[in-house]
Amino acid sequence: MSPTDAVAFWDGVYAARPAAGDPRPNSRLTEVVTGLPTGDALDLGCGDGGDALWLAGQGWQVTAADISAVAVKRLASLACSHGLGNHVTTVRADLHTSFPPGAFDLVCAHYLHTPCALDRATVLRSAAHALRPGGRLLVVDHGSAAPWSWNQDPDTRYPSPREVAAGIELDPAVWTVERADAPRRIATGPDGSTAEVTDHVLLIRRTA
């Protein structure tokens, strides 16, 4: 799938559903970030914007990036309507050829899965290099498929957090893995149905 097709795909995904009026943050984000000192955050694949809005509400200055122009336009409007327009900057970036500039205290990538061509290891390596010393990269991946997931391929393999960390190929003298586990939770789908799912959680801290 070409970059142009990828844009069309994700624009179609968001355009096909109503704009979220009050999107909720991912539970792993609130679990990990609550209590951390605020600063500059980068939300990769911001989607409906629940994570970006929550971070902004906690006092973070957030850059929210997504490949979909539909998603970032909706989030920009939503941030303003929530009184958070000065704390959220939206950027359309496909991450395949462009990465948001800047230095950050937190970079989060929740469920950055796509059927389109994307070198995730390179993206996550760029994210780690965008951290300031002491900053953290939080990667939360699917460890299982929910009934409402767009990917229902039974042969899908979900790399473990340690495998993801190894694929990024970071110097352990500069970056430290603080967490790599696979907790389970009850998730709620767009239609209100629930299911038990597995998350793969990877937290990396830049120590130098």
Give φ, ψ of 159 to 5 degrees. Answer: -60, 145
Beta bridge partners of 117: none
What's this model's pTM, rounded to 2 decimal places? 0.93
Q: What is the pLDDT of residue 178?
A: 98
Query: How far, CA to CA in Å, does 179 sit from each of 6, 59, 158, 204?
Result: 31, 24, 17, 7
Q: What is the pLDDT of residue 70?
A: 97
Average pLDDT, consecutive stretches of 10 residues, N- to C-terminus, the chain (208 residues): 77 90 94 97 97 98 97 97 97 90 97 88 97 98 86 85 97 98 91 91 96
Q: What is the pLDDT of residue 47?
A: 95
Q: What is the pLDDT of residue 1?
A: 52
Domain extent for 155 = 3-177+184-206
Q: What is the pLDDT of residue 151?
A: 75
Q: Which CATH number covers residue 196?
A: 3.40.50.150
Q: What is the pLDDT of residue 181?
A: 97
Q: What is the pLDDT of residue 154?
A: 79
